Every structure is written in C-alpha cells, then in structure tokens.
Structure 1
Amino acid sequence: MKQNFTVRQGALDGVEAFLSIAQHRSFRRAAAELGVTPSAISQTVRVLEARIGAALFVRTTRSVGLTEAGERFLSRAKPAFAELVAASEVARELGQRPAGLLRLAVPSAVVPIVLQPLIASFCRAYPEVVVEIAASAELVDLAAEGFDAGIRLGQFIAADMVAVRLTPPFPLEVVCSPDYLRGRSRPERIDDLRDHACLRMRRSNGAIASWPFVDGKKAVEAIVSGPLIAQDYPTLLGAAIQGVGLAQVPGPFAAAPIADGRLQALLTPFAVTTPGVFLYHSGRHQVLPKLRAFIDHVRYQSADAAGEGKVARRSRESDRAK
C-alpha cells in the first residue's frame, strides 16, 4: 500500500520558536532573539504542542525545561532545521549572483556555429557558472527536463516562451557538391527537384520534412525524395559534400563549404528566409542571475558583432569611394 509522505500544511510552524526557547531555556530571551513579544512566542509554542499532541516544555515561574517529548523533538528538529536554513542560504546565493549549473538544450548543429564562440567568453566572464550543453534534436520540455533555457530555430519555439535572438534571419539553402552535378542538369525551378536525389530530414515527431520555398509571394512546400533520411543538419550537409545528393540546410551551416567550393547553392531565387536562431526560456519572472547573465552576454556579443559588421561595411564603402 502506498504511503503518503506529504508534509502537513503548517507542520513547520513554530519550530524556530521551539529551538530558540530550547537553546536559551527562556521564553523571554527567545522572544527578544526572534523580535516578537513573550506572549506571542508562548502562543506559538502552545499551537505547536497542540499540533504534535504532546507537551514540549516544563515551565515554572523560575525556569524552563524540556519534557522527554521535547528532548526527542529537539534531537530530530535541530539538525533538520539547520539543513533547511543552509538550503535557503544556498538558494538565496543563486538568486543574488551568477553561480551554479546552467543547463542548455541545444541542437548539435548550432553548437559550433552559434554557441561555441559565446561559451568561451561567457565562461571566462562568469567562472562561478558551470555550463552544461545537452545536444539533442528533440524539442524538450525545459521545465520537465530541468533545463534553464534552450536554443532552437525560431519557427520551432512555442508561443509562450520568451525568445532572445542569437542570429539574424537567414535563408534555407539548397546545396550540392560540384561532383553531384557532373552529368546532371542543374535544377532551375522547384519542379526540377523531382529529377534529383534529395536528402531529407526526419523531425522529432517522426514526420519527414518537406522543403519550403517561396515563388514570388506564394509559399510552396515541395515533397522530395532521395536516398538518405537523417535527423540533423550536419549529417545532411556531410552527405551533400560527399556527392550523395541535394540538401536543404540553414544558410550559416553551408556558408563555409560554399565559400571553399565544396558546395554550390541552388534555387537561390526561391529560398525561404527563416526567423533565425533564438535562445528561449520559460519567462521573465523565473530567470535566475546565472541565466540573466548569459542572456545579457548573448545580447552584448550580438551587438558587438553587429557593430563590427557596420565598421567593416563602412570600411569597404570608404575603400570603394577612393
């Protein structure tokens, strides 16, 4: 039979008063220590004794002593109360300064591109915070799984979450290797994908994702087929580099292999723009200093990067004007 271990409401009321009286052997000195009147502390103890069902003190006009029940209660309540006080202090410290374990649920693909540059500088700035990164493609329940925050593409974040932008919006690029196109016609229209091997993504809910495009002002969802289905973008990107087929991946993930010639971008006039990558959490009223520090660090780094971009653009414009 299952037992009920729930602490009864009010069960801890009066314990601090009891411990203070037991220490001082005086109601008056205990009242002075707790900042209440002697009559108030006497009433508190009477309520505690009534709730327990036993007298805890022997009281005379000259002295205060403990009954046998009081001695037994003291032996168990004193260390337990000390642990509660210590627990409160630990929790209070976490509520006052950035410290403790910061758990982030993150897709593995965004770690090297988005998160890695932030983590190094954050760990240097806040040495009392331990950052744990749980890399997973699953859309986890932050509260249920014990995470402080998550990082996801904007379109996959629930509406009741508070989101902090990590990247600007970017396109979903269709890419392939030069080797793949040898002997094949280059796709120029969305319908041309029917004649190509397309590498597909299986979502965490089990569905295989279609490829979204925009044709003028019209949104188009292309149902594609091909030899590979994966659950993460790095796998699709690697297969595309190896010439297995075409992949549709977020622009920042494909930027380096496009720049060095390992991949080519296709169907760029039809590329759909995604909201970008965001850090998200459950609400402003539940943000501990460790998470607030990380959010502020993210915003500072993003603003700094944006500033560097503006300086670089101004420099290029100045060079062209000369």
Structure 2
Amino acid sequence: MDKTDLNQLRWFQVVAEEHSFTRAAAKIGVAQSTISYAIKQLEERMGVRLLTRTTRNVATTVAGERLLQTITPRIAEIEDEIAALTALGDKPSGSIRLTLSDHALESVVWPKLKPVLRNYPDIHVELILDSTFRNIVEEGFDAGVRLGESVEKDMIAVRIGPDWRLVAVASPAYLDMHGVPQHPQDLIRHVCINMRHETAGGLYAWEFEKDGQELRVRVSGQLTFNNSYAMIDAAVNGYGIAYVPNDIVERQVASGELVQVLDDWSPFFDGYFLYYPSRRQNLPAFKVIVEALRHRRPAGP
C-alpha cells in the first residue's frame, strides 16, 4: 500500500470529531469538496469505509473509530513537538485550550491570566465554559480545571486556588415569610433553588458537615439551574434558598440583599486544580499558563 498522506489523516480526524464535513472545512480552512475527496482517497487506499454519511450527520464506522483512537494521540504528540521546536529561541507562542466552569473562570483563572497575557501576545488562550467532566485528551483540550477531589489519578494536577465552601443564602423577604432553617434537614420543607450537574444528569444533593457528621440533603423548588450566578439572582429575588460558592456571593451578603444561613454546617471543599497529561508540560506557552495559575499561599507575618 502506498504511504498515507498525513493531511488525509488529520482531515479525517477533524471530520470525525466535528461529525460534519461543513464544520471541518470551516475549521481547517479548505473547501468541503477537497476534504471529501481526500477522505474518499484514504478509504480507497485502506480498503475500508471510515465514515458513514447522512444528510444531517457524519459518524465513524467501527474501522473509522479504531483509526481515530489510533491517530489522535499521535497527531497531538507531533503537533506538541513541532510547537516546542518552533518555540526554541523565541518568545512562548501557540494556542492553549482549557475547559472549566464559570465559577473557576471568574474566581481563579481569569484574574490570574489577565496581567500575564499582556506580556505574551503570541499565546492564544481558548476558554470553554461548561460544568461537565470533559475527556481533555479525546476532545482536544490542553488542560482542564476541576475541584481537587474530581481530578483523574493519571493526570498531572497543579493547585491553582485555595479551598472554598458552599453557603446557603436567601433573601430577607423569603426568610420573613418561611422562617430560618436551623438544621440541614429543615431544607426539605423549604423552597430551594436546585443545581443540575450536567455530567451525572442529576440534581446536586446539598452536602453539609458539622462535628464529623456528614449530611446530604435533596431539596426541591420551582427553579433549577446549572449556573451559580443565576441561582444567586433568583435568591436575591426571593425564589428560595440557594447553595452557592461563598466567594461569589460575598457582595450580596455584605449589602444585606441575601442572608447566610446554616453557616456552621457549610464545609470546605478542595480548591481548583489545573490537570493535564504529562506530554503538555514541556511546551513553553503551556508553562507560562501553568505558572500564571499556580496557587501561592500568602506569606506569613
């Protein structure tokens, strides 16, 4: 068999990941007909069908999925090595893709990146916001940000933020009408603002702890969100009790718009960590991002 064109393999990878010739063509920057012809040649050379095409979607066949799983890490390694070689003797440059939650972005990542990126105009950062647990290797991310307890064991993990906790808050008007809960189990009789975890697909069971006693309470109410900031707004407007990160609700508590309840039951959670596969650590641009985000404890007195 003739040697396979590496462009054909790369284009096949993009089409398979995008599930679309149209989106793949836009991402690569070539005509859709060019990609279609290249992949047809690849299929003919290999003697197997790699993709199934419908009017609405493109999917990999069994052979195509096997090829995709084979070439994806190898293409990534080649691209990483080329980027590292290109960076020798030059200022760090390249593109870094991160997946993270909105809370991680606003509380930790963006405040730390803002002052650093001005000094590195050739580093391009793409920040994808979601609350799901993404497979960063398969989905083409350089790194992800998660709470420490959720990081996979085979990843390198770098702490980028302090421990934090969730706090239960409600508007004064709501508490005047419904009373103040004295124990987490009291929440069952209250109107609460739920959080849906997209990865698990279920509603978050509120976690509490006091004097070694741990409780999980499943609450109910009129509203469910997958965004903490929307939950805060709903709580301010009297729609119930919300359980949200303490650092993003400090202003509303300080102003009196919200009142914190069950404070002695709110435990601390592991802070945010940047996690990534080992092959990423030698890229100059990636090193800049890691050092910018790395958590440094305040100096003692």
TM-score, normalising length: structure 1: 0.64
> Aligned pair count?
226
Equivalent in the alignment of 1:278: 273
- Bigger Rg over Cα: 1
SS in 2 for 1:257: helix
Q: Compute the displacement of 1:183 (Å).
A: 2.1
Q: Compute the displacement of 1:88 (Å).
A: 7.6
**Shift in alpha-carbon separation, 1:256–1:159, aligned structure 2, 3 A:** farther
SS in 1 for 2:193: strand
Mapped pair 1:269 → 2:258: no
Mapped pair 1:123 → 2:102: no
CA distance in 2 between partners of 1:88 and 1:221 (Å): 47
1:162–1:284 contact (8 Å) kept in structure 2: no
Q: Compute the displacement of 1:7 (Å).
A: 6.5
Q: Compute the displacement of 1:140 (Å).
A: 1.1
Mapped pair 1:111 → 2:113: no
SS in 2 for 1:125: coil
Equivalent in the alignment of 1:235: 230
CA distance in 1 between partners of 2:214 and 2:259 (Å): 23
Equivalent in the alignment of 1:163: 157
Question: 1:179-217 CA deviation, whole Å, 9 max, x = no partner?
Answer: 211222100111111221111111122111100111321
Question: 1:119-173 CA deviation, whole Å, 9 max, x = no partner?
Answer: 2112112222011111122211111111111122223322222222222111211
2:281–2:287 contact (8 Å) kept in structure 1: no
Out of 81, 86, 111, the position equivalent to 1:93 is: 86
Structure having the higher helix fraction is 1
Out of 252, 255, 258, the position equivalent to 1:257 is: 252
Out of 175, 179, 183, the position equivalent to 1:181 is: 175
CA distance in 1 between partners of 2:224 and 2:84 (Å): 45
CA distance in 1 between partners of 2:172 and 2:253 (Å): 10
Mapped pair 1:154 → 2:148: yes
Question: 1:246-268 CA deviation, whole Å, 9 max, x = no partner?
Answer: 11112212222212222111101
Q: What amino acid is aligned across from residue 146 of structure 1 in structure 2? A: G
CA distance in 2 between partners of 1:175 and 1:149 (Å): 33
**Shift in alpha-carbon separation, 1:283–1:194, aligned structure 2, 3 A:** same
SS in 2 for 1:114: helix
- Percent pairwise identity: 30
Q: Compute the displacement of 1:4 (Å).
A: 8.8
The ranges of structure 1 where at least 4 consecutive aligned residues each deviate by more than 3 angstroms after the TM superposition are: 3-8, 87-91, 94-97, 284-287
Q: CA RMSD in A?
A: 2.5
Q: Compute the displacement of 1:5 (Å).
A: 6.8
TM-score, normalising length: structure 2: 0.68
Q: Which runs of 5+ in 1 are unaligned?
A: 9-86, 315-322
Equivalent in the alignment of 2:217: 222
Q: What amino acid is aligned across from residue 222 of structure 2 in structure 1? A: P
